[in-house]
Copies of this chain bind each other. A is one copy, B any other.
Amino acid sequence: MAVAPLKVGIVGLGNVGTGVARILTDHPHRIAERAGRPIVLKRAVVRNLNKPRDIRLESGVLTNDIQAVINDPEITVAMELMGGIHPAREVILALLKAGKDVVTANKALLCEHGNEIFHAAREYGRTVCFEAAVAGGIPIIAAVGQSMAANQIIAIQAILNGTSNYILTEMQANHQHYHTALKQAQDLGYAESDPTLDVNGLDAAQKLGILCQLAFGTRVTTSQFEIQGIDSLDLSDLKCASDLGYHIKLLAQARLTNRELEMSVRPTLIRKDTPLSQISGPFNAVLLEGDMVGKMWYSGRGAGQAPTASACAADLIDLAVGRAQLTFERLDLWRERPEYPVMPADQTTSRYFLRLRVEDKPNVMAEVTGILGAKGISLASIVQPEAPEVDAKSNTPVVPLVIMTHRTTAGQLQEAMSELDLSSSVRGPRICLAVAD
């Protein structure tokens, strides 16, 4: 092959960076065949040159000087794989200014500074690729930007955090308690040492934000919609949902309703006989609904070295072939332009699953349904399983009450729940979860 090789610099040789370096060094022929020319790793920038590494690189490749990438005109593509906001933001801006196309997997950065980065890329005539930033190995950026190009996307439903999904699967299938399952996820390397952003829903919310930018051209910050994590779920919630025919998943949702975006990230009941409910362990899934193609969905590993590196390498190949540049020009992201506004959280609608503990006395079901009815919430079912117990605080007998509502607004539900909290017949803790359509 006589075509000049594409020379690449990697900034950050952690888990993903090492994975990309490995693909390039282990499979040079495969990559050259698919890219139309060799892709050569010229420099890998690390903080600590002496740290032991899982990969052998040719001498001279490893450096601790970012300028060795920025100032090398031979390097036309740079990969930011450090993660975090700073100095990743400054590094990407410097790389773009130096005339490099950039590949990144940094969802937090894009969510927060996508505007600035894409503006700079357009100003300098460069391309930014970020297939690995959302749902790891799932080619969701290509799906939205290219394969569904004839469609207006009208809804997204997605499982975007592998750690949460692993924990929920363990709780559901193996009856593990939350903290045991979380510990396992950490031992298996799925969860970060600080898993807060995984289990509190923020990681999924950042990814949903990027998907909404792509699908709806709307810039969304994570403060604009309801985010609820899985950290308050109890085994008994999963058991109760299961008895009704549902699994609980951390579901990220966005739906176009009357030109507004209804968005949320929260534990959600999903019917067992749907593919989405069967996504297990560390897998991610994204369901897109287009006005032409209907429902389309994608599943695969959302994180991990090889899947994420596979997505980064696909970006590199796209840049080498020249496709990425054409796509970037058309994607038109993070621009100032008319957007679909995000619907205020209290106006979003859903069906809900409620679990209350109520006093075991004759008129309590009438009282509860009365309060819900007064707020305009109609009920699909109300079940009182035979499992009386004694409330420790009041020393009175209590029974569980399981309610499925019809579609209602979050605001109505919130009002009803506040009123229920005031009722002397209702005892905490109470559970209120959304139910997927």
Contact = CB atoms under 8 A, between A and B. Distances in A.
A321 B317 contact: no
Interface in A124-151: 131, 137-139, 142-143, 146-151
Contacts of A321: 326-327, 330
A121 B65 CA distance: 48
B147 A139 contact: yes
Interface string A13-48: 000000000010001001101111000000000000
B330 A311 contact: no
A339 to B, nearest CB: 15
B310 A293 contact: yes
A275 B296 contact: no
A138 B34 contact: no
A299 interface: yes
Contacts of A152: 30
A59 interface: no
A308 to B, nearest CB: 9
Nearest to A151: B310
* Copies in the assembly, this chain: 2
Contact of A34 (B150, B275, B277, B306): B150
A277 to B, nearest CB: 8
A318 B146 contact: yes
Nearest to A27: B150
Contact of A310 (B131, B292, B318, B332): B292
B294 A137 contact: yes
A306 B292 contact: yes
A295 B306 contact: no
- 5 tightest Cβ-Cβ pairs between the two chains A and B: A139-B147, A150-B313, A296-B300, A292-B310, A137-B293
